[in-house]
Amino acid sequence: MARPLPAEPESEDQRRVRHLVAVSERDPLAPFALRPDKRFVFSPDGTAAVGYQVRLRVAVASGDPIGSPAAWEAAIDAFVEDTRANKRQLAVLGAGERARPLWEKYGLGHVAVGRDVVVQRSEFTTQGRRFRNLRQAIQRSHNAGVHVDICREGELRPEQVLELRRLMKRSRREDTRGFSMILGRLFDGREPDAMMAIAYEESGAIVGAHRYLWAGKQDLSLDLPLRSRAAPNGVDERIIAEVVEWGALRGVERVSLAFAPFPDLFANRSHLGVLGKLGYGLVHLLDPLISVERLYRYLRKFHAFDQQRFVMLRWRQVVRVAIVLLLLEFST
């Protein structure tokens, strides 16, 4: 039987980062600072940190600083000084609206690359014409006899872990790809409190699963969704609805589903100008790696688009930074 591996001792920096993630607020990307391949620069008082990786001598910060917003500026200052000392170029992937002005101070321009998708507990419903597509998808999963169980990762039985790994392999999902929004490891014993929502068909076989990480005490962030190719329609929507309902009974205020790249390109396609049409075509070049438009059409059912996210960079470095970002997001 496949059992979760015993957790290896964490380094001092990893323990500090885990604490900062636990006290971060309203930041769905905070849990992904715990990826094992990220490095960190801390603010002088240690209450905030910037997570980053280096490719082709470009230091790419991921998301916003974690920890106290009052120390974000100091953490960014320390990170910039570190990049200069090591003679690296600088870029940011996924900067939020609060942090963007702090990066602009260093002469970085910004490109809006999408929006967070965050379901607010107080606003979530499946009722009304607006949520018709979501309601119908969930009902189809009920009609197919699907049921969903939710538990801590540390409570999974060995046979469940084995079946989930098989599902990952069959669905060709990697747990190492995704610099911004995939933690990069499963069932290694380090995240026993991660929440697993598992969908079963009537035979008892697993047809889908979502793993959620805690972002502070009131937010959950979707890490890695898995879905069998034979899963009935509506399984993912059903899992999310069940997680929101489960969380509502336990003080969870927000459930982050994913990041929606370039939603305006798809929402207003008939009104796109020349540059918009060019952008639409360029985005579809990524289809072999990720079907961005299909992701948008799935996420819009929840009507939960939230703050914008930006790539921050110096314009003379556009080509190099673009290559680096593709390497970080899609290489294993």
Q: Could you state, in order of their start, the residue ranges of all structural domains in the chain?
A: 12-116+307-330, 118-260
The CATH class, in words, for 118-260 is alpha beta
Euclidean distance between CA atoms 206 and 227, whole angstroms: 9
pLDDT digits (tens, 9 = 90+) for 45-89: 999 999 999 999 999 999 999 999 999 999 999 999 999 999 999
Fold agreement (12-116+307-330, 118-260): yes
Whether residue 153 has pLDDT greater than 70:
yes
Q: With pLDDT > 70 as the criterion, what percentage of the chain qualifies?
A: 86
Q: What are phi and psi of 237, to 5 degrees?
A: -60, -40
Q: Residue 196: is its pLDDT beyond 70?
A: yes
Local confidence band at 322 (pLDDT 50, 70, 90 cut-offs): confident
Q: How confident is the model at residue 293 (pLDDT cuts 50, 70, 90)?
A: confident
Region 182-191: what's the mean pLDDT?
A: 81
SS3 306: strand
Q: How far apart are CA 53 and CA 136, in angstroms?
A: 42
Question: Mean pLDDT over residues 128-145, rounded?
Answer: 95
Which residue from 234, 207, 208, 232 is spatially nearest to 137, judged by alpha carbons?
234
| pTM of the predicted protein model | 0.88
Confirm if 312 and 108 have CB atoms less than 8 A apart.
Answer: yes
- What's the CATH number of domain 12-116+307-330, 3.90.1170.50, 3.40.1180.10, 3.40.630.30, 3.90.1150.10? 3.40.630.30
Q: What is the DSSP string of 189-232?
A: SS-TT-EEEEEE-TTS-EEEEEEEEEETTTEEEEEEEEE-TTPP
